[in-house]
A and B are shown apart, each in its own frame.
Chain A
Amino acid sequence: MFYREAGQFKTTYEADGQILPIRQDRIALLATLAVAVLVLPFVATPYFLSAILIPFLIFALAALGLNILTGYAGQLSLGTAAFMAVGAFASWNFVYRFPGLPILAAFALGGLCAAMVGIAFGLPSLRIRGFYLAASTLATQFFVVWCLTKIPALTGGSASGVITAQKIVILGYAFDTPQRKYVLVLLIVALMALLAKNLVRSNVGRSWMAVRDMDVAAEVIGIRLMRAKLLAFAVSSFYCGVAGALYAFAYLGTVEPEAYSLDLSFRILFMIIIGGVGSILGSFLGAAFIVLLPVGLNIVAHGLGLPTSVASNLELMVFGALIVFFLIVEPHGLARLWQIGKEKLRLWPFPH
């Protein structure tokens, strides 16, 4: 009923192969984007923009990066936060050492540095897989943070190792208010999400999925395993690196190793598990769940007048229970729930 497709004919290959084949989906996506770009910056409070939406978008980007690696290419990783840290510190160093460099170029270069680190730490994936690979990417996490605290050159010789991020200025225009930062982050994330969606639909993406599903079979049909796996690590780390740079420059305002702890890696892993492994939309849904729910619970608990210590323990309990509940009800995550919902709506009111 809501998804009545009658009358939507596809007469060309292009029309048949587009990202969103159903017209309602296209309209919904465009409407969401229009609201996000044209309405939210003007009506949302600075708190909502800078403390909720910006981190949500940044974590969605990081989750997208991990989803490319884990969800599409099947390589488990626990080093997401480390790749984010590389992106953040590299971007900071590029701006610091090359004062004339445009900040967007610095973000991209930061992403490329993360991609190189990703390739280096992706090498073990050629020999090991599954939990063993997860353990070896865990080494990235410790190694990168260790490097950042041990090598003063990476932190510009700052005594404490914590440095403040430079201002974001693009073509003389300063992105210094929550509205402007939000719009910038939104544009970068939307663009990269579109890119990711196309990438996973392409030849490269199909080779990743072949590797994920059965790497021996993939090799037999002529997919070069080394290239596919390392490319997955590179692209995934690039996404995480850009997310890390945005996290430092557009959200925290500081660049410090402790912000990129193992804890953050786990949170991003939870995002893709809850959101949906192997789904672009799932990365966004998962990030929304992990970012918004604790804040929402905290505000509700505060409204009920609970003492803060009780409130935060309650928050952890409810949060944990919801994760367990969700994964029992739908182990494939929120994206799968949405897909099922959509299918039901297409048949409504005559389910079979």
Chain B
Amino acid sequence: MTFKSLVLGAVLATSGATALAQQFVALPSYRVGPYASGGAGFYGGIIDYFNLVNAAGGVNGVKVTWEECETEYNPSRGVECYERLKTSQGGATLVEPLSTGIAYGILDRIPQDKIPMTMLGYGRSDAANGKVFPYVFPLISSYWSQAAAMVKYLADKNGGNLKGKKIVHLYHDSAFGKEPLPVLEALAKQHGFELVKVPVAPPGSEQQAQWLQIRQARPDHVILWGWGVMNSVAIKTAQRNGFPRDKILGVWWAGSEEDTVPSGDAAKGYTAMSFNTPGNYPVLDDIRKKVYAAGKGNLPDQGRIGSVYHMRGVTAGILFTEAMRTAQDKFGKGKPVTGEQLRWGLENLNIDAARQKAIGAANMFPTVKTSCEDHEGSGAVKVQQWDGKKWVAITPNWIVGDRALVKRLVDESSNKYAAEKKLTPACMK
């Protein structure tokens, strides 16, 4: 590649960008580094779905475009990527970093740049309050909703009562692992169960001491709040210590094929949370037929289509395009919307069962209905179990935890943030 062709390519790329009506999404992704398997699946899913939408003519004729930038899950690189992507191709109208650290790093920048940020199932739980965080969307379910749902599920499993039970919270000793503590502590008081907190130093490749401690504590349940290599080590160490795996309930970042397959036999019977129902859906068949058959698939291995991370990415893609559609309904069909308009679209999402069916994703994720007070839009989750070969949903219905408690904590925490930052909480028009 010579310098001349490089310049020529750049010129062609920029002239192409102005000619068509398109909606640009910034994807600060990671496909190398310690968390690459999660990143590749998730961003692969988003891109596969965007390709499917574009193959069908786009959102009311507006093509979705995107650009990736490798962050390696590093906050500093992530901020650089965000700054680079936000002005690319005429300006980003949406950003999804899939990293709590990066999300925190750009949290103060997005309201200034007027670019909405989504955080599917991670990040700041209190960002669900749209009056304080108008541009942040922890869509479907936050960590706090998940923790509340976990306790609800465990209570149901014990005949509706957790009094006198003992639950271990085995967590990644980082911001991510500590996030659910306020909810778990409040619920422990309310239900009368004992909460034992056992931290694991990141990355969590050595857990012998922790599992000895757990064996001595004889808990009724273990919540595994892990990420990356920590999960399969936990499952294998549990087996070595003779702790039944069906008593372990993983967070949704501990519930993918990447966590269970390396654990082999040890993972059989292990349960984890999910905000997707595992299985096959017409939309996944469409992706196989229209995207992969045309050679535009993003994953090198077609076998990963429909895997946990990939399906999460497809779900994110569906939410993004639905937000674009919603925004276009208000601000004019067939035209790309601005970041501010897309923010409105994300705040007024309503993806009910009928809409999911039309997309070919009936019951793939819970009904999402957002508003200014509730940027999460659902809070419902499922529990899935590894049967040795694949994940199976073991709760037929979506579980919702103590919403009132979560709402109270969200309001308390976000109002504290608003006071620190001297913001006046208000809904945006």
Contacts and interface: CB of A to CB of B under 8 A. Distances in A.
Interface of A: 45-47, 50-52, 55, 149, 159-162, 164, 166-167, 176, 251-254, 256, 258-259, 295, 298-299, 302-305, 308-309, 311-313, 315-316
B83 A50 contact: yes
B79 interface: yes
Chain A CB within 10 Å, residue with most, of B32, B69, B100, B175: B175
B173 A254 contact: no
A47 B40 CA distance: 26
Nearest to A176: B112
Contact of A309 (B32, B75, B174, B417): B32
B296 interface: no
A299 B85 CA distance: 11
What's the dominant secondary structure at chain B's contact region?
Answer: helix
> Which secondary structure dominates chain A's binding surface?
helix
A182 B340 CA distance: 27
Contact of A311 (B10, B70, B86): B70
Q: Specify which of A149, A311, A315 lies most central, judged by the most chain B CB atoms within 10 Å of its CB.
A: A149
6 contacts: A51-B83, A159-B413, A256-B75, A258-B174, A259-B76, A299-B84
A162 B32 CA distance: 24
A162 B175 CA distance: 6
A298 B69 contact: yes
Contacts of B112: 176
A252 B1 contact: no
A254 B175 CA distance: 12
Contacts of A50: 83
B70 A303 contact: no
B175 to A, nearest CB: 4
Nearest to A252: B105
Interface residues of B, number: 43
A159 B417 CA distance: 12
B108 interface: yes
Contacts of A312: 31-32, 70, 72
Contacts of B182: 159
Contacts of A167: 421
A45 B88 CA distance: 12
Contacts of A252: 75-76, 79, 105
B175 A256 contact: yes
B10 A253 contact: no
A52 B6 CA distance: 23
Given A295-B80, A312-B32, A164 B107 contact: yes
Contact of A313 (B32, B69, B105, B176): B32
B84 A47 contact: yes
Interface string B79-119: 11001101100000000000011001111110010000000
Interface in B342-371: none
Contacts, number: 103
A96 B88 CA distance: 36
B146 to A, nearest CB: 14
A51 B101 contact: no
A159 B178 contact: yes
B179 A55 contact: no
Interface in B386-429: 413, 417, 420-421
A253 B105 contact: yes
A309 B101 contact: no
A160 B175 contact: yes
B163 to A, nearest CB: 26
Contact of A259 (B75, B84, B413): B75
A254 B40 contact: no
B419 to A, nearest CB: 12
Given A160-B176, A312-B72, 7 more contacts: A164-B417, A164-B421, A253-B106, A253-B108, A254-B107, A305-B9, A309-B32
Interface in B148-162: none
Contacts of A164: 104, 107-108, 417, 420-421
A110 to B, nearest CB: 19
B329 interface: no
Nearest to B173: A149
Interface in B33-77: 36, 40, 68-70, 72, 75-76
A125 B69 CA distance: 43
B101 A259 contact: yes
B277 interface: no
A311 B67 CA distance: 13
Nearest to A251: B79
A254 B124 CA distance: 13
A50 B104 CA distance: 16
A161 B175 contact: yes
Given A149-B173, A312-B31, A162 B108 contact: no
B181 interface: yes
**5 residue pairs, one from A and one from B, having the closest CB atoms:** A51-B83, A309-B31, A160-B175, A312-B70, A51-B80
